[in-house]
Structure 1
Amino acid sequence: MADIVKRNKALSVSPLKASCSLGASLAFLGIRDAIAMLHGAQGCTAYGKIYLIGHFREPVALQTTAMDQVSTIMGSDENVVEGLKTLCDKFQPALVGLPTTGLSETQGSDVNGAVATFRKSHPECFKTAVVPVETPDYVGSLETGFGKAVYEMINRLVPEAEQKGGISTNRQVNILVNASLTPADIDEIKDIVEAFGLLPLVLPDLSTSLDGHLNERDFNPLTTGGTCVGDFEILHKARATLVIGSSMIPAADLLNERTGVPDYRFDHLMGLEAVDQFISMLHELTGQPVPKRLERQRQQLQDAMLDSHFNLGMGRVAVAADPDLLKAFGDLLAGMGCAMVAAIAPSNGAVLKHVAAREVKIGDLQELEKFASGGGTDLLIGNSHCAASAERLGLPLLRAGFPQYDRIGAPARCWIGYRGSRQTLFDLVNLLIETEQGAVEPYRSIYAQVQDMKGEHNGPDQPHAHIGRRHH
């Protein structure tokens, strides 16, 4: 069990984390015909929107209540009501997500009261669902806000089931996914589930909204894919709920309480052991044999583990990531005989106690550089913010997590399942091979240095007198 070392300084130097409100906005982007409106100043939304666009390389539906000096002091409820009315009139969204920011939380804004006022003042907007969520920047991280948004969507949109605890033969399975899963990861999960004859209903589903695709329309102010708002009303019909990531446990608990649908929980789906457990669960749930192609992919992963252990075995890696992703990489590396010499998380979480490291530091990239420089590190794993640290340390960097603004294709990268785990091992090894990290230094004899010194005394046109001479 890892020791958790909490922050012991008053400021962040080279921050690692993305804000809680940004994580909530990302969750709302996985809902069809939705839009997020951050309750805060314009800069709070603009700054987050830059990172979302840079990471996904897609237009992002994001709005703001545009708090200014007057509303910050005198009250900002009117901004919320007016903003919701404007969005409903102009775009007719199916859902408006309303994350708070550090400014509105510090000001003491009551978003739930503002939403109640909006409902009373504008009953004509009853078709649009509104989901407020408290996500101040100074609490948690991207992963925290993502989980809170999913929790509030379930809280507001999932009705209490009339009958609970029954065994369903329905082919539908609910899947709660965490913030570390890319659109390609979610596609991989859906493919595996469908291979057992099941129908996945993913919440939230970024694989159809931010997977990188061209639309028939040149511009759409709302999300163009994702989970339908109406699907929340049929979650109780599922045979089971699959929960990926410990950050989704509060949402999973609430969904189980509302619907009575049994759930199966997994910290992650990276590495042979984790994927084996997932596949075994699907086999037991359906009674269907494991498809041949999945058996083939498992054999391919085993072969990749055999090929890569010569480079990864006894390796020393430093990882900076949100708790769920940190846990996933820790287990993957430990399975290959790698030591995690530095484990840095931007916020605390229960899963951090189970990370395969001696200790986990809650901090920033300054701590990453400190621990990595003193640990004989071979490689770094982290988001694009880690690039400067990797350059200063002279180490290769495997970009993972959010944001990745200096590379293209992050949403299309699959990390999970047999195929994704296999490719991750290949990428790790190739970085080590390319930079020759951990290679044995060539031996140079001390006598060769003596010969070089003797050779310097010979003239430029004279032969080296010591070459070929025997010494007694």
Structure 2
Amino acid sequence: MTKTANFTSTTNACKLCKPLGASLAFRGVEGCVPFLHGSQGCATYMRRYIISHFNEPIDIASSSLGEKHAIYGGAANLKLGLKNVTAKYAPQIIGVATTCLTETIGDNVPMILDAYQAEFGGEDAPQVVHVSTPSYTGTHMEGFHAATTALVDQLTRPAVKHDAINLLSGFISTADIRYLQEVCQDFELKTTILPDYSASLDGQALNDYPLIPEGGTPLAAIRTMGGARATIELGATLPDHSAGTLLEQRYQTRLHRTALPIGIRATDAFVELLVTLSGNPVAERYSSARGRLIDAMVDGHKYISGKRAVVFGEEDLVVGLTSFLAEIGIRPVLCASGGHSGKFEQGVNAALEGIDCGLPLVREDVDFFDIEQLAQELEVDLVVGHSKGYAFARRMDIPLIRVGFPIHDRVGGQRILHLGYHGAQLLFDTITNALIAKKQGDSAVGYSYM
């Protein structure tokens, strides 16, 4: 009998759970309390991950189901939990996401919420938005997109046409959201960004702990998104059914999809779209930033040209970073993600079109065991991704450039700017200096001008 190698289904997943992504999206709505219909442990786990990255407190309510509820259902706990959250927090909205437990036992959440609204609803009652997010069928990115779509689906109303645009940013850093706010202001575009957790998950130091932090997309703005003259949806691997397509189908709001503006080419495309929508020229601060970035790329080319990189993380972020790395002369040899949109390889190949660097291995639905096994065969010089890749980067003795989510072993992970010419400049300097430091560290004598 031939002996085959043992197979481990997942070893250190390159993804996080679906309701975690939904909780982040709900946190980006003004006056919203995220609520998980499931066991208490789910909420605790997600709070731990979110707090370690953003270094901000976040309350995630739970229906706290136990063994009994796995048999008899969680309707009573869900109703009681919503009553308690309403009494304690006085929220404008509660975002209810399901977990593996409640999906497995088959709780009919829409029906339970209808009964709750009939029993306890009223003019002063908070709006309740629900989304199905079982982790065994997806990733945190799928939960994020599902929650954003649910917000648009359940909150928007027919609205008089107005001059604002909708910007569906995807899962980006708080600094990236602030960049999008600033660039839209500079183009004189009134914009509704959904979700907006730039303040609610990256706020100021306060003497008193607010139960619901300030910030987030206003409910009134969400309700009128159907009246906007256009929607911009950022991402290269977006689902076919999304908040953007829903707005287009339901309200005929024109949809523009473009990749995350990471690097020169993708940022050029995003800026050209803003020029078209606004009718305004590019401000000097952006054209000069672009010029400085190109100058820096020329200056640093000798340090990074021909280096080989592994890129991992959320699919849209990996696509953007892959394009950027190729632009600066680094060859992406492996692009990996725990997501499984089915659009990942197509997005990577499109991002590299016209750049002479060869096509990388593209692997979706992989874990870090898979990534490390592949990386060991590819003569890699650096790894680009979040903190969960630290262990294998350390074992391989190569630099890890921390981007994306989660970053829990450095300060400021939530404030990394990835987008625009300014973001590309910061990434370029970080990557180049890491490779210089690696060369110095590996040298027997080091090198300097002294």
**TM score, norm. by length of structure 1:** 0.86
Q: Partner amino acid for 1:368? A: I
Within the alignment, does 1:201 sit opposite 2:199 as a pair? Answer: no
Q: What is the aligned-residue RMSD (CA, Å)?
A: 2.1
Aligned to 2:436: 433
Q: 2:421 aligns with which of 418, 442, 447?
A: 418
Identity of aligned residues (%): 31
Pairing of 1:8-407 with structure 2 (within 5 A):
11-124=9-122, 127-161=125-159, 170=163, 172-179=164-171, 181-215=172-206, 218-245=208-235, 246-247=237-238, 250-353=242-345, 354-356=347-349, 357-407=360-410
1:438 Cα deviation from its structure 2 partner: 12
**Whole-Å separation in 2 of the counterparts to 1:248 and 1:441:** 51
Cα separation, 1, equivalents of 2:318 and 2:220: 34
Matching residue of 1:5: none
Q: How far apart, in 2, do the equivalents of 1:430 and 1:248 lie?
A: 36
The alpha-carbon deviation at position 260 of structure 1 amounts to: 2.0
1:184 and 1:191 map into 2 onto residues whose CA distance is 11
Q: In the alignment, which residue of structure 2 is the partner of 1:469?
A: none
| Cα drift, residue 337 of structure 1 | 3.0
Q: Secondary structure at the match of 2:135?
A: coil
State the shift of 1:141 in Å: 1.1
3-state SS, counterpart of residue 124 of structure 1: coil
Q: What SS does the aligned partner of 1:201 have?
A: strand
> Do 1:42 and 1:66's aligned partners in 2 also have CA atoms closer than 8 Å?
yes
1:35–1:223 CA contact under 8 A, matched in 2 = no
Contact 2:158/2:224 (<8 A) preserved: no
CA displacement 1:315-345 (0-9 Å, x = unmatched): 1101120111111111111222322222221
- Is contact 1:155-1:254 (8 Å) kept? yes
The CA deviation at 1:10 is 5.4
In structure 2, what is the equivalent of residue 462 of structure 1? none
Q: Distance in 1 between matches of 2:43 and 2:82?
A: 16
Cα deviation 1:242-274 (Å, max 9, x = unaligned): 111243661110012233221221121101011
What is the Cα deviation at residue 120 of structure 1? 1.1
- Distance between the aligned counterparts of 1:125 and 1:16, measured in 2? 44
- Structure with the greater relative contact order (CA < 8 A, sep ≥ 6): 1 or 2? 1
In 1: Cα distance, 2:414 partner to 2:284 partner:
28
C-alpha distance in 1 between matches for 2:441 and 2:303: 8
Aligned residues: 427
CA contact (8 A) 1:55 1:404 kept: yes
Contact 2:340 2:364 in 1 (8 A): no
**What amino acid is aligned across from residue 362 of structure 2 in structure 1?**
E
Separation in 2 of the partners of 1:178 and 1:43? 27
> Do the aligned residues in 2 keep the contact of 1:91 with 1:221 (CA within 8 Å)?
yes
The amino acid that maps onto 2:383 is: L
Instruction: From the superposition, tell whether residues 80 and 341 of structure 1 become closer, same or farther in structure 2 (CA, over 3 Å).
Output: same
What's the offset of the Cα at 1:312?
Answer: 2.6
Q: Which structure has the greater CA radius of gyration?
A: 1
Moved over 6 A (4+): 437-442
Letter of the 1:200 partner, please give it.
Answer: T
Q: Contact 1:14–1:364 at 8 Å: present in 2 too?
A: yes
* TM-score in terms of structure 2 length: 0.90
Q: Secondary structure at the match of 1:160?
A: coil
Counterpart of 2:179, as a letter, is E
| CA apart distance, 1:26 | 0.4
Write the distance in 2 (CA, Å) between the matches of 1:434 and 1:235: 48
Q: For the structure 1 residues 201 and 342, does the alpha-carbon distance in structure 2 shift closer, same or farther, using more than 3 Å as the test?
A: same
Gaps of 5+ in 2: 1-5, 350-359, 446-450
How far 1:57 sits from its partner (Å)?
0.5
Q: Is the 8 A contact 2:314 2:338 kept in 1?
A: yes
